[in-house]
Structure 1
Amino acid sequence: MIYIQQAILHILDINTNEPIYSLAGLDITEKFTLDYIHAMIEKVEDSDNMKEGTLPEDSPVVGMLANVKDDFVAATRALTDKFYGITKLNYEIPAADLLFVQFTLDEVACLGMFKLNYSDSITHHVSQEDDTLTNHLIVNRAILPSARQAIQEGMVLNLESMQYHVLEKKHMITELAEKRFYFTEMFLEDEPKPSLKENIAMIKKAVQKTSKAFNDEEFVALAETKQALVHSMEEENVIDNQVVADRLFGDNYAKKEKFFQEVEELGYVDRAPAEVAVAGPKFSKQKLRLDNGIEISIPMDLYQDAEVVEFINNPDGTISVMIKNIEKIKNLF
């Protein structure tokens, strides 16, 4: 249960020499505002791109939050100053507004910080000179994301444990001449754990390398990997590396050793929280693209049903796919 206590919006327009600070909070009695804030919180909490970490006691951000419950406006202004000090020096970081929210999540005190990047939109403008009224088209360059749109950067921070959930995107840092995750590296000054999406990508890459090392069919290994991931997420709400390895390689200890070596080198975090629902609908199906251009989408629970689909290894080294027992075909045009 989310209970919104207060919220404030500060403007980081790079065309100004300093942030435009709000001296008062948003009106959270308005349903539109409440719905928007709820949507921002859920976009961070329900994303497979979400990373988590914990701020150390000596973190500058922790110091800025010492009085956040007593002086919300001043604390958010200090955070805005630190954030603006980074963005104003790096022109490729998009201009934005910062939305701060103090709330409780399941009765735990939290702070939300959401970077609302600007986008362009066309609107009309009416002018009148003498007796001539003219309608014009103009570009509004400070349109904020709607409640339905994804956001690139945002954070939900547990004010008791200082554990945070964050969405972020790499941007070019002028001084370093390279793209960095500036939100965590430069603003939070911390390194979070990989996201669910990143963990899954590491598992996939490790399986590909293991398959190549042992001359296994990659498409078979990846299909089995997806099933193993779904099983682990459904059973334990985590990705258990051991469960994945057992389902993929059984008693083949050489393959397991190679797989474990690869995931460790890639930075995978074992038993990190994970849910199939968060991982996305792509985990409900096995999707295959054949080298002749044909694409096949098979529901996960039917993929290994020999009465529905069969993969046949031909003597010439090619593979045939047989789809069986079809009663009716519908064109999805």
Structure 2
Amino acid sequence: MDIYIKKAIIHQFSPADTDLILSDKYLTISPKIEEYLRKKIERVYSDEAKTGVFEADNPFLVAISADLLETSLVLVKRWQEEFSVSENQKTNDLIFIQFDKGGLEHFAFLRISLRETLTHLGQEMDNPIKLTQNNLPGFGTGADEALVINLSSRKYHLIEKRIKYNGAFFNYFSDKLLQVAPKTSPKKSIKALEKTAQKIAESFNQDDFQFQSKLKTSIFKNLEEKEELSPEKLADDLFDSNLTARLSFIDQVKDVMPEPLVFDEIDSSRQKKKFENQKLSLSNGIELIVPNTIYQDAESVEFIQNDNGTYSILIKNIEDIQSK
């Protein structure tokens, strides 16, 4: 991913302090810090990201200027006002970043919860392992919450967590701080889609292993070929011979996925990996993992329903067998 970090500044929030710990200087972007921030940004473009486009007059968007320091001071105080009601507070680093992606100017806001961890302090010979505070998570860990905005298109990617207030949970970040209603993340959309398909199949007595396999195949095929999921195309695949089921599926899916799910700037590899194989657990204890490309090939795998209602699976044209 073509990301170039231009400027970054860190402020800190601690539940033990009444005021934010504000910085008045930009970070020195060393190679390691650049790598750390870049990896955190890259992880925002995942299947867990909610997306949307800001209105031009959105108060949060309007507060973003070319002066990153000034912008960060305004937005971090707004963030504190909304987050301070949370019943479960920890020390957080609040990082604001200006960066280019694909030659376009972007803005990022990362909330990273700091950790307690055991650290080996080599100079302490008697007790070299000590519990240290305010440690940043590793390079491979995503930010606890993150917002990335393409300042040209106003499109945003958002990773957010609900906070608890007065015994209830709510999305303070999108509802209060950003004042937006983002699209559901691809990960949650696909889960809802699977659940809806299974519900429709059950109502028409189709919810067997063959339907489950067809569902996985259809999702994988559409992601592999088009990087998108369309309710209409999935309905054609899943309920091709039942018009009532097809229309019911489209109608119910619209509630959770009102428009085709497009993996625009979002990494679809985790979802493809999830659906690339058929995993079958048989009543005799045998478990099979069959790649989708082979599963649909009658010259490789054949499922036979016997007269007594049992199944037989015929695996054909095996050139070599290895024990693992």
TM normalised by structure 2 equals 0.89
Which ranges of structure 2 fall in alignment gaps of 5 or more residues? Answer: none
- The CA deviation at 1:243 is 1.5
AA in 1 matched with 2:302: E
The answer to whether the 8 Å contact 2:40/2:141 transfers is: no
> Which residue in the other structure is 1:49 paired with?
48
* Cα pair distance change 1:229/1:34, threshold 3 Å: same
Deviations 1:67-113 (A, max 9, x none): x20x2112112211122223332132543211111012122221011
* 2:318 aligned with 1:329: no
Deviations 1:33-72 (A, max 9, x none): 1111211111011x1111101223443312322xx20x21
AA in 2 matched with 1:37: L
Q: 2:217 aligns with which of 206, 227, 249?
A: 227
- Give matches, 1:176-191, under 5 Å: 177-191=167-181
> Which residue in the other structure is 2:7 paired with?
6
The answer to whether the 8 Å contact 1:199/1:269 transfers is: no
- The CA deviation at 1:229 is 1.9
* 2:152 aligned with 1:135: no
The answer to whether the 8 Å contact 2:9/2:26 transfers is: yes
Q: After alignment, is 215-224 or 255-264 more displaced?
A: 215-224
- The CA deviation at 1:125 is 5.4
Q: 2:198 aligns with which of 197, 208, 226?
A: 208
Distance 2:165 2:254 in 1: 32
- The CA deviation at 1:292 is 5.2
* Cα pair distance change 1:257/1:142, threshold 3 Å: same
- Give matches, 1:113-152, under 5 Å: 113-124=109-120, 134-135=126-127, 137-152=129-144
Q: 1:252 aligns with which of 242, 250, 255?
A: 242
- Secondary structure (helix, strand or coil) at the match of 1:44 reads coil
Deviations 1:160-180 (A, max 9, x none): 332210112333x213x2222
> Which residue in the other structure is 1:271 paired with?
260
> Which residue in the other structure is 1:64 paired with?
63
Deviations 1:102-144 (A, max 9, x none): 012122221011111222210245899xxxx742532123221
- Secondary structure (helix, strand or coil) at the match of 2:254 reads helix
Q: 1:76 aligns with which of 68, 72, 81?
A: 72
Q: After alignment, is 321-330 or 148-157 more displaced?
A: 321-330
* Cα pair distance change 1:189/1:311, threshold 3 Å: same
* 2:282 aligned with 1:281: no
Distance 2:285 2:181 in 1: 42
* Cα pair distance change 1:330/1:181, threshold 3 Å: farther
- The CA deviation at 1:188 is 1.3
Distance 1:325 1:121 in 2: 54
AA in 1 matched with 2:190: I
AA in 1 matched with 2:74: A
> Which residue in the other structure is 1:174 paired with?
165
> Which residue in the other structure is 1:160 paired with?
152
AA in 1 matched with 2:105: A
AA in 2 matched with 1:161: S
* Cα pair distance change 1:166/1:290, threshold 3 Å: farther
- Secondary structure (helix, strand or coil) at the match of 2:127 reads strand
- Secondary structure (helix, strand or coil) at the match of 2:143 reads coil
> Which residue in the other structure is 2:102 paired with?
106
> Which residue in the other structure is 2:295 paired with?
303
Distance 1:174 1:3 in 2: 38
* Cα pair distance change 1:330/1:183, threshold 3 Å: farther
AA in 2 matched with 1:271: P
Runs of 4+ in 1 over 6 A off after TM superposition: none
Distance 1:79 1:294 in 2: 56
- Secondary structure (helix, strand or coil) at the match of 1:135 reads coil
Deviations 1:239-263 (A, max 9, x none): 1222111122224211111111221
> Which residue in the other structure is 2:186 paired with?
196
- Give matches, 1:6-45, under 5 Å: 6-28=7-29, 30-45=30-45
The answer to whether the 8 Å contact 1:207/1:222 transfers is: no
Distance 1:186 1:320 in 2: 57
- The CA deviation at 1:27 is 0.9
* Cα pair distance change 1:75/1:134, threshold 3 Å: same
- Secondary structure (helix, strand or coil) at the match of 1:142 reads strand
* Cα pair distance change 1:304/1:6, threshold 3 Å: same
* Cα pair distance change 1:233/1:93, threshold 3 Å: farther
- Secondary structure (helix, strand or coil) at the match of 2:23 reads coil
Distance 1:93 1:312 in 2: 57
